[in-house]
Amino acid sequence: MRIVLLGAPGSGKGTQAAILQEKLDLPHISTGALLRAAVKDQTEVGQQAKDILDRGDFMPDEIMLRLIEERLSQPDVENRFMLDGYPRNLAQAEALDALLEKLGKPIDEAIQIDVDPERILARILRRAAEEHRSDDSEEVFQHRMRVYQEQTAPVADYYAERGLLTRILGHGSPEDVNRLLLSVLDLND
């Protein structure tokens, strides 16, 4: 099972990925977590990433693909993984497909979690208060939503054209949304 979770920033991708990881023992590849770890560890990529993350901008495609390729080379993701936060634009989606074809690990399912922007903003502001993340502010959210609409939203169409996309409404509780996800994946609680 190889899954891509799509949705606007704050739509619940990370929450759902964590639940799926626990329930299904499915390796979760979060580009946001990979980048935050690189920033915390002050790696070369982390130093480059900090200013970009603080502005709410996306990382250059070549850096992201390098991080993803390194992660996909690890043994725990041999045949099962879910990507959260990647691909974020059409070029990344095409590069990811090429990489996965080379590795013999094509995507099985892309799931778009749709949530109203007002609900997302409330979630992000709550998360900012709880986790003290520098990339969670209303100003950064507005910027990220503009970038998302311009660059990332078309990725859903890319997967839809390949017959891989399913959309679910992410307005319910995390448990309700997870039941929808499991249903899409033909899995029972």
Q: Which of 2, 71, 123, 144 is catalytic?
A: 144
Q: Is 66 tagged catalytic?
A: no
Q: Is 127 tagged catalytic?
A: yes
DSSP assignment of the chain equals -EEEEEESTTSSHHHHHHHHHHHH---EEEHHHHHHHHHHTT-HHHHHHHHHHHHTPPPPHHHHHHHHHHHHTSGGGSS-EEEES---SHHHHHHHHHHHHHHT----EEEEEE--HHHHHHHHHHHHHHH--TT-SHHHHHHHHHHIIIIIHHHHHHHHHTT-EEEEE--S-HHHHHHHHHHHTT---
Q: Is 80 tagged catalytic?
A: no
Q: Is 23 tagged catalytic?
A: no
Q: Which of 2, 36, 88, 123 is catalytic?
A: 88
In which order are the strands placed within the sheet that holds 28-30?
A: 28-30, 81-84, 2-7, 109-114, 165-169
Q: Which of 13, 36, 71, 123 is catalytic?
A: 13
Q: Which of 50, 80, 133, 167 is catalytic?
A: 133
Strand partners, 28: 82
Q: Which of 50, 119, 127, 179 is catalytic?
A: 127
Q: Is 13 tagged catalytic?
A: yes
Which residues participate in catalysis according to the annotation? 13, 88, 127, 133, 144
